[in-house]
Each structure stands twice: as C-alpha cells, then as structure tokens.
C-alpha cells in the first residue's frame, strides 16, 4: 500500500511541475500536509507563486476549492457564513461562507484583523464552524492553505501564537532561479498553464492514503530523537517559548508522510532533520534580546540539529517491518 503513496505523490508533483517551476521540495511539503490532514502556511514576498501553488494542488486532486482574500475590513461572518431571516418561511437560514470547501486558500491572511483571523481557529482545529449556537461540519478532506507576506510589509497583522501552532507546516518559496524564471516566461507566452491543468488523483484516493501513512514504521530511537529536538527548543538560550507537544506529534506524523512519498516504510533521523525547520520554526518565539542580534527561528533550529545527538543503528537489530538498519 505504501507504493500507492509514492505513486500518488509522483503524479501530483509531475502535474504541478507544469505550473510551478523549480519548487519540487515545496510541492512535496504541500503533499505532506495533505497526507497528514494538516494546514499549511506559505510565507513569502508577493509574486513568488504562493496562490498559484495552492490552486495547482487543488486542481490536481479534484477537490472543491474556494479562495478568501483577507483584507483589513473583512468580517468573521464573511469567512464562516451568516444566518439570514427568510421572510417567506419566517425562519433563519444559514448561508455558508467560503470556508465550506475541501481546500480553502486564505490569501494574505495576515492582512486581516486578529478578530477575523480567529474565525478560522475552530475550523482548523475541529473541522467545524459554529454560527449562532449551531455547529456545522466542514467537508472532508478540509485543508487550509494560507499565504502571508512578511510582517515587515505595511498593512499586516502578525498571526497570534495560537493560530500559528495550528499550522502543521510553514514553508518559503523564494525567488526562482534564473533558468527557471526563463522557463516560466516561455510557458506563459500564450496562456497560463494553470488553465489547462487537469486532475490526476481522486479525493477518495487521498482519504485512503491519509490512513495508509500511519502504517509507516517509526523506531523507538527515532521517537526519542523527535522528543529530544522538541524539548531542546524549550531550553535554548535564544528561545522565549519553545514548541509544545503538538510540535512533537506534528514532526512524528510529517516524518511518516515524508518517508512514504519516497517509497519507504520506515522513518530515519534524516527524515526528521529534513522537516524540523518547516514543522518547528513557526512554533518558536525568539527572545527579544536574541531578535536584537538578528537571531531567527531557522538559525535556532539549525543550532539544535547540530547539538542534539542523532541516534545510530542498534547493534544486531534490524527493523521488524522494513528489514533495513536505522541509518541509511
């Protein structure tokens, strides 16, 4: 069954590559979020392809897709929906908001006020919306792909820590390489390739694979390594607030998906290292004194990866399921 995860990933990545050039690792991280039923925060400057990436993923899987353009005057009811009184039936009717979709693009989420940002908290954590005391379930799968500009830009509101913690991963796209940018110009000479993108997977397949990745084997030593990394974030001298237990679980689950899309049925420390920055970086609060010295969360994660000992293979022991030693 794990071969089907790799096949699914290869099909989706190949499809998205027709639109997004030179960002394979970013596309892989989006797939990791989808397979883990987690939400994704894409942070970068305008014009790097954040919105196009979200649309490409939605079209490749055939999910229902809605976009919410966050602005300072956006109200919470504009996101969740509102109850309207019907004069003919003399009853209130609920008009669902754009959050009722399988993939929701929250575009420039940090341009909305904190009150509107918080309207997504219940949806992201419990996959339901409560309006006027009535709870409405959201469709399955339900994934929020949020984009944001760096907070240095004017007219932005930093996301609160409670909401940042609900994002499984945070990634940065960055500017394309010179040759990749030339390829983008050639591909869009006549029309945007997104217009011709067709689905290459089904929703039912994604739902099945979300359960399949849970079968990826994680050795006790790897589990200890994950917990050691997360614990180290709480004691680093430059960190004011470290990652919570949700960070440990996120790193555990994403490592399973990361291994599965590469066709492996076991997790290694290298898989954990590859995901540490994307999973833990936005869960750390760097101390004010460290920020003055321009210390970033990414630098802290890199320091911890060098400091925390990596477990080696147990002598004479092989994995029960894969038959492969822990170290590659």
Domain boundaries, the chain: 1-75+101-213, 216-328
Residue 131 · residue 83 · CB < 8 Å: yes
Q: Tokens 């979020």 appear where?
A: 33
- pLDDT computed for residue 257 by the predictor: 94
The dotted CATH code for 216-328 is 1.10.8.80
pLDDT of 318 strictly over 60 = no
Q: Which of 70, 45, 225 is nearest to 150 (CA)?
A: 45
Q: Is the pTM of this model over 0.75?
A: yes
| Residues making up the chain, counted from first to last | 328
pLDDT of 218 strictly over 60 = yes
The more confidently predicted of residues 151 and 281 is 281
pLDDT of 214 strictly over 80 = yes
- pLDDT computed for residue 111 by the predictor: 86
Provide mean pLDDT across the span 239-266: 91
Q: Where are the alpha helices (DSSP H) in the chain?
A: 2-16, 24-35, 50-61, 76-80, 114-117, 121-126, 161-164, 178-187, 203-212, 220-233, 245-260, 269-280, 288-292, 297-307
Provide mean pLDDT across the span 57-83: 89
Max CA distance (Å), the chain: 76
Which superfamily is assigned to 1-75+101-213 in CATH?
P-loop containing nucleotide triphosphate hydrolases (3.40.50.300)
- pLDDT computed for residue 83 by the predictor: 85
- pLDDT computed for residue 89 by the predictor: 83
Helix or strand or coil: residue 321?
coil
pLDDT of 223 strictly over 70 = yes
Q: pLDDT tens-digit profile of 148-206?
A: 877 666 667 778 777 888 899 998 888 888 898 898 888 888 888 888 888 898 888 89
């Amino acid at each position: 069954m794990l071969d089907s995860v790799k096949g699914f990933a290869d099909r989706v990545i190949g499809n998205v590559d027709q639109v997004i050039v030179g960002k394979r690792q970013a596309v892989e991280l989006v797939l990791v979020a989808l397979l883990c039923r987690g939400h994704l925060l894409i942070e970068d400057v305008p014009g790097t392809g954040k919105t196009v990436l979200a649309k490409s993923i939605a079209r490749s899987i055939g999910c229902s897709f809605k976009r919410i353009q966050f602005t300072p005057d956006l109200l919470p009811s504009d996101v969740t929906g509102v109850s309207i009184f019907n004069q003919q039936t003399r009853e209130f009717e609920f008009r669902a908001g754009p959050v009722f979709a399988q993939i929701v693009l929250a575009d420039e989420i940090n341009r909305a006020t904190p009150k509107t940002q918080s309207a997504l908290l219940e949806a992201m954590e419990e996959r339901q919306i409560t309006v006027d005391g009535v709870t409405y379930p959201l469709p399955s799968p339900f994934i929020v792909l949020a984009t944001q500009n760096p907070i240095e830009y004017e007219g932005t509101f930093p996301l609160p820590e409670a909401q940042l913690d609900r994002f499984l991963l945070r990634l940065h796209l960055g500017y394309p390489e010179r040759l990749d940018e030339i390829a983008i110009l050639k591909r869009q000479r006549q029309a945007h390739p997104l217009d011709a993108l067709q689905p290459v997977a089904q929703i039912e397949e994604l739902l099945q694979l979300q359960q399949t990745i849970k079968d990826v084997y994680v050795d006790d030593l790897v589990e200890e390594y994950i917990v050691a990394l997360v614990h180290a974030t709480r004691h680093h001298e430059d960190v004011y607030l470290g990652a919570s237990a949700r960070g440990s679980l996120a790193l555990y689950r994403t490592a399973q998906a990361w291994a599965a899309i590469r066709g492996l049925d076991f997790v290694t420390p290298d898989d954990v290292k590859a995901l540490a920055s994307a999973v833990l970086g936005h869960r750390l609060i760097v101390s004010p004194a460290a920020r003055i010295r321009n210390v970033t969360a990414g630098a802290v994660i890199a320091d911890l990866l060098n400091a925390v000992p990596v477990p080696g293979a147990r002598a004479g022991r092989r994995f029960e399921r894969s038959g492969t030693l822990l170290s590659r």
